[in-house]
């Protein structure tokens, strides 16, 4: 994998709208995320030419969204690229992306949810990208970016030292406060107590390169040009999470079964799941997701000792840690630890 150069305070980073036109719809939330990203991490955020356009225009012009991404990669004055927000429109970028441009200009690219599409394009180009916060979701957090997220960003994108062991956040939230209400921006969301990660099975250490994303988006991408060859996923630590639409445990099981039928699961080193997404999903339902995952694994040959960890702090939950694609991670189910053993950026 090509590892991008680390970010430094003062660097220019491009904000790009790859899916929903959130900045145009709710500019106060975009402005809050931009300001907090600049003040907290010392970066200078520059909107790409079409990033702030109205949602209707962006929906009609996937070629313009893709052109923004390609220009941000090619621009030597831009050190990193941050997705503004997710959505469900990124898959329409695929005919307009140039994998060679991405490979020729390695730089930090970060986002989550529907941004999974562009992460797989980076993975096809051989570039390490980062599954983590977006401008409006994560960096735009009500009352300021969570310290846990800031620490994760610094460890993943600002230093060339190995990222090291990650631990559960001190608390978590999925509460939805209306972004268009200016008063909400200074109102902290209601937090749940810290939730230990759930080590569901496994007796031996699993170690391999990270790969994954939002499970619904990955399901759409099967068979597209950016879906990786099976050989690139041999030995991988697969990370999956569900969107705020909260697909049912049964739906997650079916999507996971598809991964099994493609031969992905049998060659994994470990399987990670983020905390189930959705602000209306009761915590009591989390067990149903664990049971669905274990049912699929139990009925597939050779997976009964696969290390599996669930309810982790990434994806559609806050605060979140950052996962770099293609970088080696270690899951120790006996010590109940998760460690990213390599650096994701270079000097």
Residues of the chain falling short of pLDDT 70:
none
Using the structure block, give the residue that is written with the tokens 């639409």. Answer: 245
What's the confidence (pLDDT) of residue 277? 82
The three-point CA angle 92-255-152 to 5° equals: 75
What's the confidence (pLDDT) of residue 215? 97
Q: DSSP letters of 119-141?
A: HHHHHHHTB--EE--BTTTBTT-
What's the confidence (pLDDT) of residue 34? 98
For 12-161, which CATH class? alpha beta
Query: What's the sign of the alpha-carbon dihedral 198, 120, 144, 5?
Result: positive
What's the confidence (pLDDT) of residue 193? 97
What's the confidence (pLDDT) of residue 50? 98
Pairing of strands 337-340, 328-332: antiparallel
What's the confidence (pLDDT) of residue 6? 98
Pairing of strands 270-274, 308-312: parallel
Residue 293, classed as helix, strand or coil, is helix
What does the pLDDT look like over 263-308, one tens digit per residue? 999 999 999 999 998 899 999 999 999 999 999 999 998 899 999 9
Strand boundaries in the chain, DSSP class E: 12-16, 44-47, 80-83, 108-111, 130-131, 164-166, 171-172, 192-193, 198-201, 206-214, 237-241, 270-274, 308-312, 323-324, 328-332, 337-340
166-340 CATH fold: Glucose Oxidase; domain 1 (3.50.30)
Q: How far is it between the farthest Cα atoms of the chain?
A: 53
What's the confidence (pLDDT) of residue 319? 98
What does the pLDDT look like over 199-210, one tens digit per residue? 999 999 999 999
For the chain, give every domain's residue range. 12-161, 166-340
């Amino acid at each position: 994998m090509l590892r991008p150069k680390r970010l430094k305070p003062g660097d220019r980073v491009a904000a790009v709208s790859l899916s929903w036109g959130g900045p145009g719809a709710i500019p106060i939330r975009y402005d809050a995320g931009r300001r907090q990203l600049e003040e907290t991490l010392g970066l200078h955020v520059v909107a790409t030419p079409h990033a702030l356009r109205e949602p209707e225009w962006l929906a009609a012009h996937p070629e313009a969204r893709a052109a923004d991404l390609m220009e941000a990669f090619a621009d030597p004055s831009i050190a990193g690229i941050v997705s503004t927000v997710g959505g469900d429109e990124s898959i329409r970028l695929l005919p307009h992306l140039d994998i060679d441009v991405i490979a020729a200009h390695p730089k930090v690219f970060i986002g989550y949810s529907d941004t999974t599409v562009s992460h797989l394009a980076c993975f096809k180009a051989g570039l390490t990208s980062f599954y983590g916060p977006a401008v409006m979701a994560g960096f735009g957090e009500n009352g300021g970016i969570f310290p846990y997220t800031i620490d994760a960003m610094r460890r993943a994108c600002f230093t060339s030292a190995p990222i090291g062991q990650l631990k559960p956040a001190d608390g978590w939230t999925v509460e939805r406060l209306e972004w268009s209400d200016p008063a909400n921006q200074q109102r902290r969301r209601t937090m749940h107590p810290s939730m230990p990660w759930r080590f569901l099975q496994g007796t031996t250490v699993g170690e391999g390169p990270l790969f994954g994303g939002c499970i619904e988006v990955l399901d759409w991408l099967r068979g597209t040009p950016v879906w990786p060859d099976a050989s690139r996923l041999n030995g991988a630590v697969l990370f999956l999470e569900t969107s705020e639409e909260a697909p049912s445990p049964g739906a997650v099981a079916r999507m996971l079964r598809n991964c099994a039928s493609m031969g992905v699961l049998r060659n994994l080193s470990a399987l990670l799941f983020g905390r189930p997404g959705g602000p209306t999903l009761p915590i009591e339902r989390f067990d149903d997701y664990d049971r669905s995952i274990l049912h699929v694994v139990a009925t597939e040959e050779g997976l009964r000792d696969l290390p599996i960890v669930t309810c982790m702090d990434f994806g559609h939950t806050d605060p979140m840690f950052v996962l770099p694609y293609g970088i080696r991670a270690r899951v120790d189910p006996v010590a109940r630890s998760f460690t990213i053993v390599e650096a994701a950026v270079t000097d």
